[in-house]
Amino acid sequence: MPVGTKGTVKGLTPGDLREVGAGIVLGNTYHLYLRPGSDLIKEAGGLHAFMGWHGPILTDSGGYQVFSLAQTRRISEEGVEFASVYDGSRHVFTPELTTRVQEDLGSDVAVVLDECPPADAGREYHEESLRRTARWARRCKEAHGRRDQALFGIVQGGLYPGLREESLGLTVEIGFDGYAVGGLSVGESREEMLETLALTAPMLPAEKPRYFMGIGDPVGILKVIALGVDMFDSVLPTRLARHGAALTQDGRINLKNARYRTDFGQLDPECACEACAGYSRAYLAHLVRENELLGHRLVTLHNVHFSVDLCLKARREIEAGRYEEWSRAWIARYESTDRAGTDKLE
């Protein structure tokens, strides 16, 4: 899912997203609640009408901000009190409020309010937190009234298998339309993340969507798909583009590197997006170095297209029964160049 935090995938129009094949985008409840305000968006006819995107939308609950804004928030049984990143004003996000806000936004998929502790929080804290998250999840479900909106629960528990199993049991017992695996990609190693996911994902209901919150690098995407994940989101493709980095079949390249000043080849010869079909690496590198808006837009378009296309290819390989062999070969090619480190972003 391309991330449209504030009601826009940075630099791209809804038409661009349709063109690259995006099937769903993500919006951020915390930011949209503060600006321009969920009441205004509701008055506009909902987030679809407001942003001009008429495909599916998933909104998170603000739970990630519990993690990312840890220095300015206070957690209680009632909910989470935040300081606005815009003006410092205080706001209390309760399960009931975040559910109502997401209903006002009119997203197709809403997510329960949860706490996302850092990986090193310790077992005792994770245990207390996952049980509070389960109590919040039940309150979200009780407050949820839109029949045309799915509601996803979230499994927490850190890197502790026993706590993951407990959180999963509590969440599945409440009953949701889909289940998210939260509390990963928050400071643990890639190996720890995959080991925890490998234990958690198979225990989730097979007939419900499985959502991994917060992964967007190509190798990570293919590895979590192999473990049974259906949905994932990340700002990585758009964030990399704003720093001049492009994802390709042969690893990530940094267009600010001097080697691309005179490289008149395609950004990715195997990609059919507008940036690859119409412009050279040298031109894109020039735009990026000069901080031209067109450069950011074209590289963003490419990165999102690349990520969506990778998922479409993965789907085809799964259907053909070739996923394991294909993904292993794809990752080997990508990493053989990427590991060289010549184009790593500083």
Per-residue pLDDT of 13-30, as tens digits, reads 999 999 999 999 999 999
Which pLDDT value is given to residue 16? 97
Reported confidence tier of residue 340, pLDDT bands at 50, 70, 90: very low
In the CATH scheme, what is the code of domain 14-234? 3.20.20.105
Catalytic residue among 60, 104, 114, 217: 60
Residue 338 has pLDDT above 70, yes or no: no
Share of the chain above pLDDT 70, in %: 97
Q: Which residues of 53-92 are buried (b: 16+ CB within 10 A; e: fewer)?
A: beeebbbbbbbbbbbebeeebeeeeebbebebeeeeeebe
Reported confidence tier of residue 344, pLDDT bands at 50, 70, 90: low
Which pLDDT value is given to residue 341? 47
Catalytic residue among 16, 114, 217, 233: 233
Is 309 catalytic? The answer is no
Q: What is the mean pLDDT of residues 181-204?
A: 95
- Residue 130 to residues 135, 167, 334: CA-CA distances in angstroms? 9, 6, 37
Which pLDDT value is given to residue 62? 80
Total length of the chain: 346
The CATH 3.20.20.105 domain(s) of the chain lie at 14-234
Is 268 catalytic? The answer is no
Whether residue 74 contacts residue 22, with contact meaning beta carbons closer than 8 Å, is answered with no
Mean pLDDT across the chain: 95
Which pLDDT value is given to residue 346? 41
Residue 345 has pLDDT above 60, yes or no: no
Q: What is the mean pLDDT of residues 153-164?
A: 97
